[in-house]
Structure 1
Amino acid sequence: MKIAGFQMQSTVGEVEANLAKIDAAAAKAATQGVRLLIAPELALTGYGAGALFPALASPADGPQTEQLSQIARRHGLTLVAGFAEKDGETVYNSAFLTDGKGQTATYRKSHLYGPYERQWFRPETPSSILATIDGIRLGMLICYDVEFPENVRRLAQAGAELVVVPTALPSGWSGAFIAEHMIRVRAFENQVFVAYINHCGADDRFAYAGLSRIAAPDGRLLAEAPAESEALIVAEIDLGAFQTSRSENTYLADLR
């Protein structure tokens, strides 16, 4: 199965403009045979929306997710994108999955990073949200979640073969280390694929690292994006190609 990550520069507060960008990326991905497209954390609102989040937040079955489903249906692929989810008076930092044909899933970020996120969102209890796309079992995390090894391990133990991670990784030395090293280790230590898809550029509050990555179970990078610019990165997810790695690195079976 071909998957793609859309490293994008969201426009803060402009949901329709960001949806249009994702629509264009989905159209391009579909011409390359992509079956799953991943957009960044809070892609629909922009990560730096701050005080706009309460007004921009949408229910998991609201108009924003319906537009994502329409994009997925129009281009014949599954889509994962970050959005601000409103549930009553509570706002979550969430990711929405839709195949455009009725299969949907919503994941809420469990580990909020810093006072900025804690001001605007409520953390969810860690959970294993799974979906099956073209026979591949997929699990979801968001940004800081992946930096806790327990979260990826939980998904792997639940049967995930691919972990998708919409993110808003800031620029700087620690961001570069996470993208260039940690993501590959998470894939290797759990023998799963990891797709880590970031913003690029900057808004009024944050500058983003770019450096989106898709890593394989043997720790190799299958696709990578530059630091500075928007990019559509594509990789083939072939479970059979990594049987040797899984037979030699039996961490899940040997865990005590």
Structure 2
Amino acid sequence: MTTLTIAAAQSISIAGDLAANIVWHQRFMQVAAEQGVQLLVFPELSLTGYEHVLAAQLAIAPDAEVLKPLRDFAREVGVTSVVGMPIRLSDDSPVLIGALVLGADGSLGVYSKQHLHPGEEVAFAPGTGGSTLTIGADTVALAVCADFSHASHAAAAAEQGANLYAAGVLITENGYAPDTAILQGYASAHSMAVLMANHAGATGGWESAGRSAIWAQDGSLIAAAPGTGNLLVIARRDATGWEGQVVQVAQA
């Protein structure tokens, strides 16, 4: 079995402040690189916060120049990073909840949230998903929050050959137990590792539960954040299996 190191970036999002959030993302990416992380996944709408009211004015094209420093940094440190952003695929297209894949090789991938949570339709349109990612010998399928509440979404990921299901989310305390039970169940049901990156604190009027987590393909917990706050939840796999670690991320 080849080695693999993945991480959930449990990051704080400053409401609507793209420039400040880019700096925070770069800090997470730097710490991830120091830990040998190959794939780093941020929470839903991590670059703006879960801010419905601001989404239309903040939405950008996936290849917008404003994100070039972040794309360049991902390539510089060698960490493929999945970041959350409201996107428009053209000037007159609806706003989608995007997960942008900033490749360690300089590439750009786009995933758009397929299944909206009730209430999100006031600011967003349903997206169309996206392609799986290849990290070494592993195949990764992405999800954004409510996507995983549809069993068909995870089943489709498994059918596409994914052995890792990676979700950027916003989950509150009330939803944490049922939602993590679903994600853990997908791991064992489809024999794929599951990563969940949750927000580090309050965003968009919601109090995140934090406690980002990664499960092995048999459903066993590899690592989880103990609560909220800026943390990196890391899982490393080698020939002997998985090993977990949680690292605090402080401002540079």
| Structure 1 length-normalised TM | 0.87
Contact kept in structure 2, 1:2 and 1:236, CA below 8 Å = yes
More helix by share: 1
SS of the residue corresponding to residue 30 of structure 1 reads helix
**Equivalent residue for 1:5?**
8
How far apart in 1 are the matches of 2:191 and 2:239? 10
Contact kept in structure 1, 2:113 and 2:144, CA below 8 Å = yes
Q: Within 5 Å, which residues of 2 pair with 1:90-109?
A: 90-109=94-113
Q: Within 5 Å, which residues of 2 pair with 1:64-103?
A: 64-87=66-89, 88-89=91-92, 90-103=94-107
| Structure 2 length-normalised TM | 0.88
SS of the residue corresponding to residue 44 of structure 1 reads coil
**Equivalent residue for 1:228?**
228
Q: Which residue identity lines up with residue 210 of structure 2 in the other structure? A: G
1:61 equivalent among 48, 57, 63: 63
Deviations 1:98-141 (A, max 9, x none): 224233211110110011x111110024x452111122111111
State whether structure 2 residue 30 is matched by structure 1 residue 30: no
- Unaligned regions of 5+ residues in structure 1, if any? 243-256
Question: 1:19/1:239 Cα in 2 relative to 1: closer, same or farther (>3 Å)?
Answer: farther
Question: 1:98/1:219 Cα in 2 relative to 1: closer, same or farther (>3 Å)?
Answer: same
Contact kept in structure 2, 1:200 and 1:228, CA below 8 Å = yes
Q: Which residue identity lines up with residue 170 of structure 1 in the other structure? A: T
Q: Within 5 Å, which residues of 2 pair with 1:105-124?
A: 105-115=109-119, 117-124=120-127
How far apart in 1 are the matches of 2:217 and 2:66? 33
**Equivalent residue for 2:178?**
177
How far apart in 1 are the matches of 2:110 and 2:170? 18
How far apart in 2 are the matches of 1:63 and 1:119? 27
Q: Which residue identity lines up with residue 60 of structure 1 in the other structure? A: P
Residue 238 of structure 1 and its aligned partner are, at CA, apart by 4.8
- Unaligned regions of 5+ residues in structure 2, if any? 243-252
Q: Which residue identity lines up with residue 11 of structure 1 in the other structure? A: I
How far apart in 2 are the matches of 1:110 and 1:185? 21
SS of the residue corresponding to residue 141 of structure 1 reads strand
Contact kept in structure 2, 1:128 and 1:158, CA below 8 Å = no
Deviations 1:144-167 (A, max 9, x none): 111211101101101111111011
**Equivalent residue for 1:17?**
20
**Equivalent residue for 2:245?**
none
How far apart in 2 are the matches of 1:160 and 1:113? 24
Contact kept in structure 2, 1:93 and 1:121, CA below 8 Å = yes
Q: Within 5 Å, which residues of 2 pair with 1:131-170?
A: 131-170=133-172
How far apart in 2 are the matches of 1:148 and 1:198? 18
Residue 204 of structure 1 and its aligned partner are, at CA, apart by 5.4
Deviations 1:45-82 (A, max 9, x none): 101x2221111111011124433311211211111111
How far apart in 2 are the matches of 1:59 and 1:204? 22
**Equivalent residue for 2:211?**
211
Regions of 4+ moved over 6 Å: none
Residue 239 of structure 1 and its aligned partner are, at CA, apart by 8.2
